[in-house]
Structure 1
Amino acid sequence: MADVQLEQVRKVYGNGQVAVHEASFTIGDGELVVLVGPSGCGKSTLLRMVAGLEEITSGTLRIGGRVVNDIAPRDRDIAMVFQSYALYPHMTVAENLAFGLKLRGAPRGEVERRVSSAAGMLGLEGMLDKRPAELSGGQRQRVALGRALVREPEVFLLDEPLSNLDAKLRHSTRTEIARLHQRLGTTMVYVTHDQVEAMTLGQRIVVLEGGRVQQIDTPMALYDRPANLFVAGFLGSPAMNVLRGRLRAGDGLQLETVQGSRVPLPGVSVPDPWLERELVLGIRPEHLLPVDEGGLEARVEVVEAVGSEAYLHLDFAGQPLVSRLPPTDLPAPGDLIRLRPDPARVHFFDAGSGLRLQP
């Protein structure tokens, strides 16, 4: 096992496009870190630089303390699982699992041991004689995982390995990957655009946008204390509600929105310099709570009941809001309801930079 250290790693393509801007962070020995962000944010490019499939323009990359900038992929002691299964269709599962080891000249007994061990971990024992065409998508992805597993590398790299699976298979395979990491304790770097995968798999998450690292932290720290508006809006489904305006302290603290409506904030205290300042108020849907009186008044537009919870899509003076509630005694579309932000769970951001404001 090994740690992965990136120091000011940068990627610039021949046309001048900067794909990754000075990324600096360390993935600890045995840690599972997820790189997450929207399409084009640089997460796969970053992973491919770790793998040696993309040349590093500048900066230093270390794996296990060894600088690997100019080391060939096969000599980095890494194994990669791609979005496509990339299995050999004419080979059986056992042959696909063993192929890389045989290329490297591993002894037959060692090949059989590793293939048997990987098949046992991934529940492939009864499929070793089948070919990929006879397998489901989830089974093929497990074979792809097993092919990386038999390498017994220092670092696993996984590039959106579940994106070709349906929702049920994504959930079950995601659980298998988490269990696999717990059993092996091997360093894993996992790329995804799916925030649910990121939140449920990652011990830490690296959030990227525009080729820049926006924030690195544990899943719940990112959710509870986003560093900026991008992270606040990207992590969480539905996304965080945001209201732009100025804080007024006349008749109790209120946010006067740019649309001219007012959001009472009883129980919320802010530093004096924040008053009369243009800023952004953020509130998660589950922290926008119904009240009998006071609060803000909004009109219900759509009610989404999804079993254990319900989402109310609201119109507040032309501003869309979402509230997450228990699925009981729900209002109907067209109803007016009153809601109040939980005073302990409000977030404030600078209107210009989008950065989180700390008291």
Structure 2
Amino acid sequence: MAEVRLEHVRKVYPQGGHVAIADASFTVADGERLVLVGPSGCGKSTLLRMIAGLESITSGTLRIGERVVNDVAPKDRDIAMVFQSYALYPHMTVAENLSFALQLRKLPVAEITTRVGQAAEMLGLDSMLERKPAQLSGGQRQRVALGRALVRQPQVFLLDEPLSNLDAKLRAGMRAEIARIHARTGTTMIYVTHDQVEAMTLGQRIVVMKDGVVQQIDTPMTLYRNPANLFVATFLGSPAMNTVEGLLALDDGPVLVLADGQRVRLDGARLPSGLPRKVVAGIRPEHLAVAADGQAMLSATVDTVEPVGNEVFVNLRMGAVLLVARLPPEEAPVEGRALGLTLRAPEVLFFDPASGERLPG
């Protein structure tokens, strides 16, 4: 097990000068499970491949443990990587796939047998050791790929979108499996995904990236409740945070004046300084609720209703503004009807419309 430390790591591709990683500096603690998340093309997989040694580092310093590994070959970094594709040897059995890397290292047969047995037991592969990959389901193949990394007992696990080929039910099960593996092994783990639900459920801390730039690093719930900017606020959360542009002013209490003149009272909101000022107000779907008679803070028209079992997502129109509310199923409104809503004003976040940065309040 080892700490992984990046100090002003930068990746620029010579052809065209594309900056894939601008200036990444963070530390993955010994035994931590850290997730890199962001949209496609944000640089998260490039960053993981740099840690693995599969991409060169243009500038900056990368340490695994106390060792600078910028120019160390991948095989000498004591890491194990699990890719999006299972990359199993089709002509080998599960046991042979699990043991192949250990055989290449010429470990004693008894130790190889012990390690393979431990990994198979941990991953529920005991009864499948004599099968070949073609006889396995997608989830079983992914467990073999994880087991192949486990048997190596590396200092650091690197996982590059390992669940993206699985269906939703298998993904949920494998997320729990990975968390259990990490709890049992205590090995430092860096996990890449574009799926924000995966990031929130798996990460002890999350690194949010956009266009090669680290936007914010923190625990899942801190990122959700206190995003540093509008990108982080809208990227994390499903459905995404509602964003409403307007003029925030004081008129016998705080009020958000929309472009069409509508006024939304925000009594109790945590206000930024320098009012009046233009802002983007961020409202989580769960912070909207159906208003009792005479209590509505805003009115909108129900566009569509999406029932998902224990809750419904209600798509609303408020003039030119689109909103989503997360409501209990018994409060599902009728499409096309006007709906009065309240919102939890103390939970509303405010962002600068030009920079996207969060406005403290």
TM-score by length of 2: 0.98
Q: Deviations over 1:204-231 (max 9, x none)?
A: 0000000000000000000000100000
For residues 262-277 of structure 1, the aligned pairs below 5 Å read 262-273=263-274, 275-277=275-277
1:123 and 1:269, CA in 2 relative to 1: closer, same or farther beyond 3 A?
A: closer
Q: Which amino acid aligns with 2:196?
A: Q
What corresponds to 1:339 in structure 2?
Answer: 341
Kept in 2, the 8 Å contact 1:281–1:348? The answer is yes
Q: Which amino acid aligns with 1:4?
A: V
Equivalent-residue separation in structure 2 for 1:178 and 1:325 (angstroms): 30
1:188 and 1:269, CA in 2 relative to 1: closer, same or farther beyond 3 A?
A: closer
Equivalent-residue separation in structure 2 for 1:111 and 1:179 (angstroms): 23
Equivalent-residue separation in structure 2 for 1:141 and 1:122 (angstroms): 10
Kept in 1, the 8 Å contact 2:90–2:132? The answer is yes
Kept in 1, the 8 Å contact 2:270–2:346? The answer is no
What corresponds to 2:305 in structure 1?
Answer: 303
Equivalent-residue separation in structure 2 for 1:109 and 1:189 (angstroms): 30
- Size of the aligned set, in residue pairs, is 358
Instruction: Check if 1:5 corresponds to 2:9.
Output: no
Task: Pick from 342, 347, 351 the counterpart of residue 349 of structure 1.
Answer: 351
1:14 and 1:285, CA in 2 relative to 1: closer, same or farther beyond 3 A?
A: same
Kept in 2, the 8 Å contact 1:33–1:188? The answer is yes
Deviation at 1:128, TM superposition (A): 0.3
Kept in 1, the 8 Å contact 2:272–2:359? The answer is no
Give structure 2 stretches of 5+ with no counterpart: none
Kept in 1, the 8 Å contact 2:245–2:281? The answer is yes
Deviation at 1:251, TM superposition (A): 3.9
What corresponds to 1:199 in structure 2?
Answer: 200
Deviation at 1:88, TM superposition (A): 0.3
Equivalent-residue separation in structure 2 for 1:355 and 1:272 (angstroms): 14
Deviation at 1:248, TM superposition (A): 2.0
Q: Which amino acid aligns with 2:288?
A: L
Equivalent-residue separation in structure 1 for 2:5 and 2:82 (angstroms): 20
- What is the alpha-carbon root mean square deviation over aligned residues? 0.9
Deviation at 1:270, TM superposition (A): 2.0
Kept in 1, the 8 Å contact 2:272–2:360? The answer is no
Report the identity percentage: 65
Equivalent-residue separation in structure 1 for 2:234 and 2:178 (angstroms): 27
Moved more, 281-290 or 125-134: 281-290
For residues 1-359 of structure 1, the aligned pairs below 5 Å read 1-15=1-15, 16-273=17-274, 275-292=275-292, 293-359=295-361
Kept in 2, the 8 Å contact 1:265–1:340? The answer is no
Q: Deviations over 1:115-152 (max 9, x none)?
A: 00100000000000000000000000000000000000
Deviation at 1:339, TM superposition (A): 1.3
Deviation at 1:65, TM superposition (A): 1.5
Q: Deviations over 1:249-306 (max 9, x none)?
A: 1243110123332211122252551x12111100100001221233110000111111
Kept in 2, the 8 Å contact 1:81–1:145? The answer is yes
Deviation at 1:245, TM superposition (A): 1.1
The secondary structure found in structure 2 opposite 1:94 is helix
Give structure 1 stretches of 5+ with no counterpart: none
Equivalent-residue separation in structure 1 for 2:276 and 2:231 (angstroms): 24
